[in-house]
Amino acid sequence: MDDTRTMRERMLAGDLYLADDPELVEATRAAQDLAATYNATTSRQEPLRRLILEQLLGAVGEDTDLRPPVQVDYGTNIRIGARCFANFGLLALDVAAITIGDDVQIGPNVQLLTPTHPVEPEARRAKWEAARPITIGDNVWLGGGVIVCPGVRIGENTVVGAGSVVTRDLPANVVAVGNPARVIRSVAEA
């Protein structure tokens, strides 16, 4: 391969990369250590919890609350807006950027999955991976157990029903449910 970029640069560009690259392995281990420390805190340790969260994530807005346990790949590729809430068990695999707007509500055991893997057997056997970013607009509500797949954008004010699997973009101001998630109605403005 003629590419002179580091595996981290390839990963962040959305190109094929090897996750077992030593720099990436160390970054993942550091994130896992911080997540474990965060997950061991209680709600009575809010100042400490906030400090750890600010070290773990790329950005976190004011009055945002993520209930432990939280799991990430790197953490640094996640940006969460203000006044967001994530219930227990958020899994955010941030191989590519995960951008979450303001006032987002995330139910328990939600998965935000940016990694992709080659369909071709030889590339998969060689451990090549890639990723596509996820963007969640302002005031979105993801019900419990929702899975958001790589490359998905969810528009503002959209509600995704519990257990749904979001495989493609959802527009703003709709309710979507199912596997794969499909729009079932509009959200009326209050």
Q: Are 100 and 85 within 8 A, CB to CB?
A: no
Q: Are 49 and 41 within 8 A, CB to CB?
A: yes
Gap between the Cα atoms of 107 and 36, Å rounded: 20
Report residue 60 CA to chain centroid gap: 13
117 is catalytic: yes
- Choosing from 117, 132, 153, 182, the catalytic residue is 117
Gap between the Cα atoms of 103 and 63, Å rounded: 10
* SS3 state of residue 123: helix
Report residue 187 CA to chain centroid gap: 24
Q: Which two tokens stand for residue 114?
A: 């940016």
Angle between helices 46-56 and 22-39 (to 10 degrees): 170
DSSP string of 59-93, one letter each residue: EE-TT-EEPSPEEESSSTTEEE-TT-EE-TTEEEE
Residues serving a catalytic function are 117
